[in-house]
Amino acid sequence: MILKGNETVIYYPDEFLAFRIISQNPASMPFFQAFIQVVKEDYGLSDFGYIFKNFKKEGNILVSYWDPPKNLSKLLGKFILKHEDNKLMYIEVESPSGEILSKTYFKNHISFGATSFPLEISIIKNIRLSSTLEIVIYKNPQFNLPIPQEIIDFKIPSSVKVKEMRW
């Protein structure tokens, strides 16, 4: 899989087939993004224009409330973050009307430097009358490894037909 700007290329070597998906926005990989965003105290919300509104303490849990920027306020509502011992443990995303759109739980943290990374991420998404559960479990994560040359130099063979799609 190659992610570059608004393009995602997925290559299936056994089938000798590839798809180039061109979207309006840069591609993201939610299961990986959730792991990386825990590095930021605010889960990267301020980078997206979210505004810190309030916080409260519940025992040793810090709960913070974030309002969406105006350009997202018709799609998304409040974000609620819960930290325990400086580890992100829970995120809740609301709709503009206050309905819960998703809940994310972070468990089994490991430390790398001053940062705690969750090895288990559970995401519950509520869409209309149904919900989905996605659980990502990381085993043996390694940090700051050099990128192998075969990945740096990778190119889809020119003989492979690449089917292009707009998303």
The predicted-structure confidence for 30-54, as pLDDT tens digits, reads as follows 556 666 677 777 888 888 889 999 9
Same domain as 98, residue 18: no
Same domain as 121, residue 99: yes
Tabulate helix, strand, coil % of the chain (nearest 5): 10, 50, 40
Q: Domain range for residue 55?
A: 38-141
User: Residue 5 is encoded by which pair of tokens?
Assistant: 């700007």
Which H or E element spans position 63? strand 61-67
> How far is 6 from 163, CA to CA, in rounded Å?
16
Same domain as 61, residue 135: yes
Same domain as 71, residue 14: no
Residue 96 forms part of a structural domain: yes
Q: pLDDT for 59-113, tens place per residue?
A: 999 999 999 999 888 888 999 999 998 899 999 999 999 999 999 999 999 988 8
